[in-house]
Amino acid sequence: MNFKREKTYNPYLHDTIIENIFLMEYMPIADGEHIKVYLTALMYTDTSEMSNSLIAKHLGISEEDVLRAWNYWESCGVIRKIYKDPEDRFHYTVQFLNMKDRIYGNSEELSEISKKSETVLPDEMDDRLLKGLFEEIQQIAARIFEGNEAQKIISWIYDDKLQPQLIVFAYKYSKKRGKSSFKYTSRVLENWIRDGLYTVEAVKESLSENDERYHRYKRIMKALGFHRGATEFEQQTIDSWFDNLGFGMDKVLEACARTSGISNPNINYVNSILSGWAKGSVKSTSGTSQKSGNGSIMAQVRNKYEETRKKHTAELENHRKEVYGKAPHMRELESEERKTLQSLSKAALSGGYAGRDSATDLRTRIEALAEEKNRILKDLGYPEHYLERKYDCKICKDTGILDNGERCRCFNEKLKQFLK
């Protein structure tokens, strides 16, 4: 037996379900007329046909106001325009999107766009990649943008020349520490910039070093019988044992063990022991100071990664100089391409039909520039990817650290080489 409910097309006999995300996140910052258009169309979604002209008449506003509202909601990502005729940009069907999926979902298409948006340079962002970047960030933070957050991200990319992947990494870093507010993430980025960390590779290296030092302090303080963190002075002293004197953890712990015979174990006492070993006046139980002129093995591994990155950076610069020397016009093409990509992103964010027309022209120009660049490289006998950065390890991009904070396979391989 099947059951079927008789349909009614009277909106007064229906209830309109509005997601709380819309009420709490979108509605407070939207224009009143935009909200009216959204709610009116949503009310008629399952009951009867509704057009922009009928919505305008029902609300007592112009049809242009209705079109502006749809442009706004499309830019927010809460609706999608479905065009029957790609050439006709005035007639379309409005699809209301699930806001929970938008914030918490993870579609394959979005994932692919997001991956591409992370790997491009600041001047290579187009509107599709920029939108993918916004979507990914909002999914990481599990919220929509706050205030001028989107504008600030654009400013970071175009004005401050920050790599998109660095911005994404900042949001992931904040989320991992239980912080998802824009204010916190902004402070994180500002601190990295202040410390001269402009790439994910540099940040990961710094974080790895800080984490290593933190565990180093904790282990040594525990060996001395302390159940507290090291003071700033104690941290500096401990750092000097590894960075200046060149001792490894085994010798430091051996020195700590010698404090068991005194009534008040302390850092200064351990420091005197290690300083004596370094000068050769006091021997360890193994009969040698065990000083390593190259510092800790971990530091040597990190230095190896840094050398690799510098090598590939220099290689890329040499490739550019080589091509520019043979084809000076290539420099102008790349400069124009970067400026056009910037204009494309701004046109996409402006919305409206004028913005769409402008974006179409800009895309056509970008395609023409790319074809011209490929033609020049081919004529000069260079491969297609000659002006792209290379990596020894494409998985971690020569940092040794994966996005989840774990060591890359190549890091362990390098570590084994140093331990031989």
In three state form, how does the secondary structure of 16-54 look? CCCCHHHHHHHHHHCCHHHHHHHHHHHHCCCCCCCCHHH
Query: Does 289 score more than 50 pLDDT?
Result: no
- Mean pLDDT to the nearest integer, 170-192: 87
User: What percentage of the chain reaches a pLDDT higher than 70?
Assistant: 75
Q: What dihedral do alpha carbons 180, 185, 186, 191 form, nearest 10°?
A: 150
Task: Tell me the pLDDT band of 404, cut-offs 50, 70 and 90.
Answer: low
Task: Tell me the pLDDT band of 48, cut-offs 50, 70 and 90.
Answer: low
- Quick one: pLDDT at residue 121? 47
pLDDT in tens, 127-140: 666 777 888 888 88
Locate 143 and state its tokens.
């919220």
pTM of the shown model? 0.36
- Quick one: pLDDT at residue 170? 92
pLDDT in tens, 345-397: 666 555 444 455 566 778 888 888 888 888 898 899 998 888 888 888 888 78
CA distance 195 to 210: 13
pLDDT in tens, 218-227: 889 888 888 8
- Mean pLDDT to the nearest integer, 170-176: 88
- Quick one: pLDDT at residue 30? 82
